[in-house]
Amino acid sequence: MFRRSFNRFCAGEEKRVGTRTVFVGNHPVSETEAYIAQRFCDNRIVSSKYTLWNFLPKNLFEQFRRIANFYFLIIFLVQVTVDTPTSPVTSGLPLFFVITVTAIKQGYEDWLRHRADNEVNKRTVYIIENAKRVRKESEKIKVGDVVEVQADETFPCDLILLSSCTSDGTCYVTTASLDGESNCKTHYAVRDTIALHTAESIDTLRAAIECEQPQPDLYKSLGPENLLLKGATLKNTKKIYGVAVYTGMETKMALNYQGKSQKRSAVEKSINAFLIVYLFILLTKAAVCTTLKYVWQSTPYNDEPWYNQKTQKERETLKVLKMFTDFLSFMVLFNFIIPVSMYVTVEMQKFLGSFFISWDKDFYDEEIHEGALVNTSDLNEELGQVDYIFTDKTGTLTENSMEFIECCIDGHKYKGVAQEADGLSETDGPLTYFDKADKNREELFLRALCLCHTVEIKTNDAVDGPTESAKLTYVSSSPDEIALVKGAKKYGFTFVGIRNGHMRIENQRKEIEEYELLHTLNFDSVRRRMSVIVKTQAGDILLFCKGADSAVFPRVQNHEIELTKAHVERNAMDGYRTLCVAFKEITPDDYERINRQLIEAKMALQDREEKMEKVFDDIETNMNLIGATAVEDKLQDQAAETIEALHAAGLKVWVLTGDKMETAKSTCYACRLFQTSTELLELTTKTIEESERKEDRLHELLIEYRKKLLHDFPKSTRSLKKAWTEHQEYGLIIDGSTLSLILNSSQDSSSNNYKSIFLQICMKCTAVLCCRMAPLQKAQIVRMVKNLKGSPITLSIGDGANDVSMILESHVGIGIKGKEGRQAARNSDYAVPKFKHLKKLLLAHGHLYYVRIAHLVQYFFYKNLCFILPQFLYQFFCGFSQQPLYDAAYLTMYNICFTSLPILAYSLLEQHINIDTLTSDPRLYMKISGNAMLQLGPFLYWTFLAAFEGTVFFFGTYFLFQTSSLEENAKVYGNWTFGTIVFTVLVFTVTLKLALDTRFWTWINHFVIWGSLAFYVFFSFFWGGIIWPFLKQQRMYFVFAQMLSSVSTWLAIVLLIFISLFPEILLIVLKNVRRRSARRNLSCKRASDSLSARPSVRPLLLRTFSDESNIL
């Protein structure tokens, strides 16, 4: 019997066959039975990725899965095994640097996880063993141990509540660390063990618990009434005893901790595409040089000159093998065209850049005393590329701060605050209807509001007498419920708490009424209603139910619906949230059956949720409608201005909500998603039910809407955003049932077109409202838009657990730190306190992040092509002998030291347009949309610029060397001097190019740009000024100093730098002149002022937007 009573405590939602038997206190139930200790995992929490022993192999394996790292490893191995022109150090050292920096970063992050794990695992807990309190570390808890938990302590594992210090066996728990809800939830001890209050009595308990295997069902249900979850905190209760049923990595919190799927930004995809192009260039260079080498060597004199005779082994080597070796050697010589250090620079830029969001004071909210939170830094630049925004309504666009406005009882409207003299009939507020419902019906309605909820009183003391009722503080996971309880209080019925399982109400006559709470049929998003079964002091059993009209109307008498329905629809049109209230009387015989069914469903180990849902459905039928409530959810501050700005930026905003169409529509007009001029196209149950066959009517509407939109809009997607302001704006409204019809239509040929026609309509609409949406449907819509042609970038923003699915599905997920818990914020990529913060996050931060990283990527490929092209051209003048142009030290240091810091500083600090300008003129956001700065045009611009400059470096120096001697003493310069001049011009040119691009100068930019150039000069003097004992050949000794002793070399370096940068300087001057002349011709002063704060905005964007000179 006792074992059976435990069955229901851990019943889960998912279909799992296995069960486990837990012996309380690890004592056998019967001394005659053989006790075999079961093997369960210990209570250690492990969130870390590595251990001391596997860190090196595991981290290296993960890093070498990256294409660029693996490529450089192969090059390094080729250099070690094959006789190549450059030292293995030239590719090995940069690779070692990248691998080391990444490993240190990942190792540090994992060390933090280890430290957090140890804090949890080493925490002190008390176990009851042999009737004594034994002090242990948390990680030593075993399944079956009885644990004592004191007030304000966190539960160390998942426990079944055996007893508490209270006589009725209740305890209060907060789950803020699990779901962010700070309200107290009541849990109840097992009835058979309520009296066991001491360690001695607990130790005498001999019992077994049969429960299901561990399930990650944290957000479906925070556990049955007896299950205390790890991570929750004991409140307002001095002490409890509980038996451990799930420990360590099998607790619900640990099972629910799963890494989010890796999201890749559009910039990452562009980098991979560019890498393939440059890899092709590398292979082409190596193939050309290998072929020309053998063409050159076809002449006997060139193949084996007198001063370089071949050995016998070389003569006997197969020609094919020699060609392959030469090809590999050229690959090694040109391999620096692939920028391996770019990956570590990009990672550092993303990681460090994400702090700017966290530090932004504009994101700080005074109410919750929190700012923005960055959960992943990999998507910073994606914030500047968003095409579609999917937003929840309640708590995101609105405050989720509910206020009771009015109610209707049996079709009679009540609004205002009641006078004590005559219940509800006289009010301080204005009344539309002066007649009223029956007095008994009024009281029944108010009792329903006071009883049908999960609200709790925020106090530890029992409340007695009418004087205390005014001081009550209500807490609940749902603001709606608090508003309804407060609404009932206005009209004289006050909920004063629960004592010993009895709900207590103070009525209008200041009398306390008690109702025994028999069962609570909790709210869920599928049923969209909740119910309670209570027993009056007279012994009558009543069911009270409240829920959405669509969930309640089908379950009440038809003749009761008409009057209430009119009020509900009118309230929805006014933008209020509506709930319907119903009740029914239950006979003792019916209750016995219902009670038995509920207990059986709760005890089920398999399909528990389905069975409970079926029982709930059976119970909530044949009810009587009493009335309806209207609650106002105020619009969030600056929500309308934010949506206007996002529209102006060319973004499409879709509202996905579970609310009624009328309520949601009213909110959309209030927040300016729909303008008064917007023509609304409706695909709802109402519009489709006009016809007998729904699918035919749906098909007709889809065809009609498509014709209308295609007639009004141009076909080009690029010009669509501009068309919004020039043509009639359209908005679409669709509800959940119609969406299901579209997505799950039958497989005949006509129905297969539903989805594609629907998507065509959506793409032409400036705004879409989806109402009556289930959480799964929200994710389906996001997935559908993600898979559109062109793969538009999607962003989802919401504040509740029902928004998590769409937040995880979209490219970028934003969580609002709202009043519906923190599930959305925990599962998001970024979290902000309010919807209004989205404006600056996208228009300013997103814009700047994208421009910075796009410039970083293009610059890296540019400077490496500049670096390697002279090396390629040099082969034509050295008989394709694979002779390096640069010294090994320069090859190694170029990307690591000489050119790395300036671009990192630029990519963190650059503001090519002032932040205030970006937020005040949203149209600037359109200019970088569609990954504009990493398209083929800008890529070719940078590539040709690098090719031009590399050619100037090489041939400029080559023509300088046509003079037989460059010094007064007639000394002739050698090939290392030639390479050093080219390298000097290269380093100065690419660094000064970045200086020309910089619009926002700080002391850090000055320090790294001029400091890098100074460091190069210092290093060159240092490297060439000392005899290095570990080097076999000192080929660079005194080369740099000797080179700079020639005046003609100085002039050549300065001249070549100027010639290389001249096209860029000329372009900047021409664009400045063009912009100034355009400004003089502008008739609109506002458009002129929008860019005047930054006179040098256009030159930077010139490479991407050659066709647009200004903002009109």
Residues labelled as active-site residues: 392
Q: Which three-class secondary structure state does DSSP give residue 218?
A: coil
- Per the DSSP assignment, residues forming a β-bridge with 404 are 631
Cβ–Cβ < 8 Å for 1043, 973: yes
User: How many Cβ atoms are within 10 Å of 546's Cβ, its own excluded?
Assistant: 27
Token pair belonging to 288: 């050309």
DSSP class of residue 735?
Answer: E
Which single residue is written with the structure tokens 């740099």?
1040
H helix intervals, 415-560: 439-451, 479-490, 549-552
CA distance 412 to 238: 48
Cβ–Cβ < 8 Å for 902, 1009: yes
Distances (CA, A) of 440 to 443, 444, 446, 491, 871: 5, 6, 10, 14, 96
CA distance 417 to 482: 17
Helix and strand numbers, DSSP H then E, in the chain: 41, 31
Distances (CA, A) of 1040 to 204, 983, 1014, 1029, 1032: 89, 11, 14, 19, 19
CA distance 1099 to 1112: 18
Chain centroid to CA 323? 51
CA nearest to 279, candidates 340, 322, 346: 340
Which single residue is written with the structure tokens 């949230």?
577
Cβ–Cβ < 8 Å for 869, 951: yes
Distances (CA, A) of 345 to 351, 359, 860, 905: 10, 21, 10, 10
Task: Kindly state the helix (H) or strand (E) to which residue 543 belongs, with its residue range.
Answer: strand 541-547
What does the DSSP assignment read for 180-207?
SEEEEEEEE--GGGTT--SHHHHHT---
Kindly give the pairing relationship between strand 474-475 and strand 456-457. Answer: antiparallel
Name the E strands within 674-783. 679-683, 730-735, 767-771
CA nearest to 290, candidates 322, 323, 335, 315: 323
Token pair belonging to 154: 């966190």
User: How many Cβ atoms are within 10 Å of 418's Cβ, its own excluded?
Assistant: 20
List CB contacts of 80: < 8 A, sequence separation 6 or more: 88
CA distance 33 to 40: 21
- Per the DSSP assignment, residues forming a β-bridge with 535 are 516, 541
**b/e map of 833-843 (b: 16 or more CB within 10 Å)?**
bbbbbbbbbbb
User: How many Cβ atoms are within 10 Å of 238's Cβ, its own excluded?
Assistant: 11
Q: Which three-class secondary structure state does DSSP give residue 239?
A: strand
**Backbone phi, then psi, for 949, in 5-degree steps?**
-65, -40
Burial class of residue 367 (count of CB atoms within 10 Å of its CB; 0-12, 13-18, 19+): exposed
CB < 8 Å & 24+ apart, contacts of 1104-1111:
1104/927, 1104/928, 1104/932, 1104/933, 1104/935, 1104/937, 1104/938, 1105/927, 1105/932, 1106/937, 1108/927, 1109/1071, 1109/1074, 1109/1075, 1109/1078, 1110/1075, 1110/1078, 1110/1079, 1110/1082, 1111/921, 1111/923, 1111/924, 1111/1087
